[in-house]
Structure 1
Amino acid sequence: MPAPVMPEITLQGIHVLGRDNNPSFPKKLEGKVAIITGGAGGIGEATVRLFARQGAKVIIADVEDSLGTVLANSLSPSSVTFVHCDVSIEEDIENLISSTISRYGRLDILFNNAGVLGNQSKHKSILNFDAEEFDQVMKVNVKGVALGMKHAARVMVPRGTGCIISTASVAGVMGGLGPHAYTASKHAIVGLTKNTSCELGRYGIRVNCISPFGVATSMLVNAWRNKGVEKEDEEKEDFMDIKRVVPCEEEVEKMEEFVRSLANLKGQTLRPKDIAEAALFLASDESKYISGHNLVVDGGVTTSRNCVGL
């Protein structure tokens, strides 16, 4: 006896199941052009993949040439490209924006996601303030975001539309959630977001940021691997090397468990795709009246705690 045929479930004539792969369901970023800095790995990579699935033309901007090229080649060559870009160098940002305009004729979305953690070891007391490290963290995390906003706005203002998103952190929401340099940089990103949204709103440009709690990316896992271990010669961490090393599954799970233990919301695990989904919401027309907002994705940790390891 043949199996019964189940009726198709529809909502207003649109299939409910399989939305990402269902051609009858509109893609949220169809026809949009998006730049994602720090797009070669972690949160950036997850966002590149999601934006591409949602119909966007995506430019991966990163200093990791091999990782960025491999990612672009693994996706559709007609919709995803890689451009080398150090966000702390204005000429690189200018080239990134101009090459995007040359290729696609427009820029709809800039996701300022590139950033560094700084030294996560026990040497983070203000008594041991390292001015050189502070400058390096601020140069990438804050100057890089400001330069991205500047040059994206220059091409968005004449069109009277656009969306700028930046990755901040729960360390930019409250104190006690990170080292001083990193915390200062993330507070600055939230401030830049609010200030820039005030200026650019008159041109129809939305400016928002996302503040994740700890996401077990390679960068974070590697930075925390030796947390609390003194270095004999006080040498600086190589901010780029901690991004290249792929941690083992056990290390990732350990980090995820640590984050779960701190969050107020139980039963869920924060992963890069969750931040990518938040970026998709802010980039799409679903958030068309949201600007100057800091979208906190933290499982309630900033509502229930005031100190983590500091």
Structure 2
Amino acid sequence: MSERLKDRVALVTGAASGIGAATARLMAQEGAFVVLADVDEHAGQALARELRDATFAYTDVSVEAQVAAAVDEALRLHGRLDCMVNNAGFVGAYGSILETSAAAWHATLGVLLDGVFYGIKHAARAMVKQGSGCILSVASTAGVMGGLGPHAYTSAKHAVIGLTRSAASELAPRGVRVNAVAPGTTVTEMMVQGRGSRQAAIDAATRASPLGTPLMPQEIAAALVYLASDDARHVNAHTLVVDSGVTVAGASGGAVFHNRPAGFMGRMPGGANADAR
């Protein structure tokens, strides 16, 4: 490895699995000290033991105090924070908008949008003080085009891209870059759950790709590491789409979710009732 992130401190939310785990691994390989933030304590602790100089911080990103505490933990351990990766996510509410409950809607945005806001806010406070840093958020092709995801998910991902641009406009003069990555259909544990098996997830990702190859978490991690590195020092307020060309091809995959009975995929923050109307 080239050690593009040598001795830098990175905090990755949703780091226990999927894109987050792949990003944490690659950042560690590139020389970073990584703080892994997640609600899955078992998997998060296991990954922390696997990586060089990594630590785990239990973090529900829908709770501002817990995001702030994760940032404080990085500062306590390393004295600085160079990169914040707002990655934590799930599918959340799905089904017809006619049947989506307010509770499911708000629970979805609590993780996918509020969590990103909290991450940007508290990371930026630390980075402005030190005069440098980069903040990265994981959006989605559902945030670039309509019809590529469930309604609440799509709304949140559009908002993440807008927040990336607006936060970058404020923070750039203070030495902090803010960017996003918009993955296409990626073979993660969440997708395996939705499709029923890993092979079914791989097959679906392959079909969704104009290149005919499945998109893997490591490839999204590579994009995030690029944006975190000095190679991207003049890249700011940008959303890097990594989707094999799906958004240009005009694929529309949202019907997979819209035509199902209303439901919720992922952990409901605080034990909320997704069926509450």
- Of residues 204, 220, 232 in structure 2, which corresponds to 1:258? 204
Tell me, yes or no, if the aligned pair for 2:150 and 2:254 is still in contact at 8 Å: no
Tell me, yes or no, if the aligned pair for 1:38 and 1:61 is still in contact at 8 Å: yes
Q: What is the aligned partner in structure 2 of residue 112 from structure 1?
A: 86
Look up the SS of the partner of 1:257 in the other structure.
Answer: helix
What letter matches 1:164 in structure 2?
I
- The answer as to 2:114 corresponding to 1:138 is no
* Mapping of residues 43-82 of structure 1, within 5 Å: 43-76=19-52, 79-82=53-56
Q: What is the aligned partner in structure 1 of residue 136 from structure 2?
A: 165
Output the CA distance in 1 between the equivalents of 2:147 and 2:35. 35
Identity %: 43
Look up the SS of the partner of 2:92 in the other structure.
Answer: coil
Q: What is the aligned partner in structure 1 of residue 270 from structure 2?
A: none
Structure 1 runs of 4+ with >2 Å offset: none
Tell me, yes or no, if the aligned pair for 2:179 and 2:238 is still in contact at 8 Å: yes
1:83 deviates by: 0.6
Output the CA distance in 2 between the equivalents of 1:74 and 1:103. 18
- The answer as to 2:159 corresponding to 1:205 is no
Calculate the aligned-residue CA RMSD, in Å. Answer: 1.2
1:42 deviates by: 0.7
1:306 deviates by: 4.2
Output the CA distance in 1 between the equivalents of 2:100 and 2:56. 37
Q: What is the aligned partner in structure 2 of residue 243 from structure 1?
A: none
Look up the SS of the partner of 1:296 in the other structure.
Answer: strand
What letter matches 1:141 in structure 2?
L
Tell me, yes or no, if the aligned pair for 2:93 and 2:105 is still in contact at 8 Å: no
* Mapping of residues 141-290 of structure 1, within 5 Å: 141-225=112-196, 251-266=197-212, 268-290=213-235
1:309 deviates by: 4.4
- The answer as to 2:3 corresponding to 1:27 is yes
Output the CA distance in 2 between the equivalents of 1:100 and 1:255. 35
Output the CA distance in 1 between the equivalents of 2:192 and 2:230. 34
Output the CA distance in 2 between the equivalents of 1:31 and 1:294. 26
- The answer as to 2:18 corresponding to 1:42 is yes
- The answer as to 2:49 corresponding to 1:103 is no
Tell me, yes or no, if the aligned pair for 1:119 and 1:223 is still in contact at 8 Å: no
TM-score, normalization by structure 2: 0.89
Q: What is the aligned partner in structure 2 of residue 232 from structure 1?
A: none
Look up the SS of the partner of 1:145 in the other structure.
Answer: helix
Output the CA distance in 2 between the equivalents of 1:42 and 1:199. 31
1:112-167: CA deviation from partner (whole Å, max 9, x where unpaired): 000121144xxx11221321111000001100000010000101002211100001
Structure 2: unaligned runs, 5 residues or longer = 256-277
Q: What is the aligned partner in structure 1 of residue 265 from structure 2?
A: none
Q: What is the aligned partner in structure 2 of residue 10 from structure 1?
A: none
Count the aligned residue pairs.
255
